[in-house]
A = this chain, B = another copy of it.
Amino acid sequence: MNVDSNWFSEFYEPGGSAFGLKIRAKLHEEQSAYQRIEIYDTETFGHLMVIDGCVMLTQRDNFLYHEMMAHPALFSHAAPRRVVVIGGGDCGTLREVLRHEGVQHAIQVEIDERVTRLSEQYFPELCEANHDPRAELRFEDGIAWFANAPAASADVVIVDSTDPVGPAEGLFSEPFYRDVNRVLAPGGLIVQQSESPLYHVDLLCSVHGALRRAGFSDVKTLHYPQPVYPSGWWSATLACKDGSIRPMRIESARRAAFPTRYYSADMHQAAFVLPPYLVEALAQVTG
């Protein structure tokens, strides 16, 4: 399978699979201070952002990821007011967070400002909450930011990172989770994008173990489709600072005054049900 001018292709060698989207044009390409960013116009998925050769998002299917990174965590927390998004430079997760009226302050800490500027240009619908007075966009290293953030200053932390290689590798590690744990207030929650339930069972186990060793008291994974990521099936892992991950605020979710396409109160509960092979693998994890 080779790239020709009509297709963008991502070869996921560890999985032995490849995914392609038919493109109309390459709209932009640059080497930022951190990574190579490309923007394409596709035939059927709208605009596509690629970083270092990996599909980041498309206009057609990003709702799956952004809704499932934001709403399960926010509706599992009793009263989320202060939210931090690490990564998430396309601003789609931030937009979903700010749909929650109770959120008073949402900080997005993205290392690469160019991702956000290009998203403002090519994915403007994801950036429509960037000027919300509750939003604070910071462009700096998320790991350093957490090391310096005050204790007990956040209710929900969303780790909306790229894959655990290169700059994002530290975001999947026990030292980072320890800092997040310190920054979370009592009752606080972390949610981490945790890759493919088919391809990355070892990584999922490793994330569960690292979160527990970092002091989190309950760890749960949810899953959802994500056609443009390797295997088309993706996950997010939640953990809480103390106690157990609470039952969702189901009445709040049912009455949510904002539209969602994939998330609902019922989908929230269904997404946490895992197939037996994953239940078995995660049961082997020791803290």
Contacts and interface: CB of A to CB of B under 8 A. Distances in A.
Interface in A1-58: 1-4, 6-7, 9, 11, 13, 15-22, 42-45
Contacts of A277: 261-262
Contact of A264 (B197, B260, B275): B275
A44 B19 contact: no
B227 A17 contact: yes
A231 interface: yes
Interface string A263-279: 11011011101111100
Given A17-B20, A227-B232, A232-B233, A273 B262 contact: no
Contacts of A223: 225
A248 to B, nearest CB: 14
A232 B18 CA distance: 12
Contacts of A128: none
Of A2, A7, A232, most buried by chain B (CB within 10 Å of CB) is: A232
Contacts of A20: 1, 9, 11, 17-20
A202 interface: no
A3 B18 CA distance: 11
Interface in A39-80: 42-45, 61
Given A7-B18, A18-B9, A198-B225, A260 B232 contact: no
B2 A4 contact: yes
30 contacts: A1-B1, A1-B3, A1-B7, A1-B18, A1-B20, A2-B4, A7-B18, A9-B20, A15-B44, A16-B22, A17-B19, A17-B22, A17-B44, A18-B21, A18-B22, A19-B19, A198-B225, A225-B225, A225-B231, A225-B233, A226-B232, A227-B232, A232-B232, A233-B233, A259-B276, A260-B276, A262-B276, A263-B276, A264-B273, A266-B273
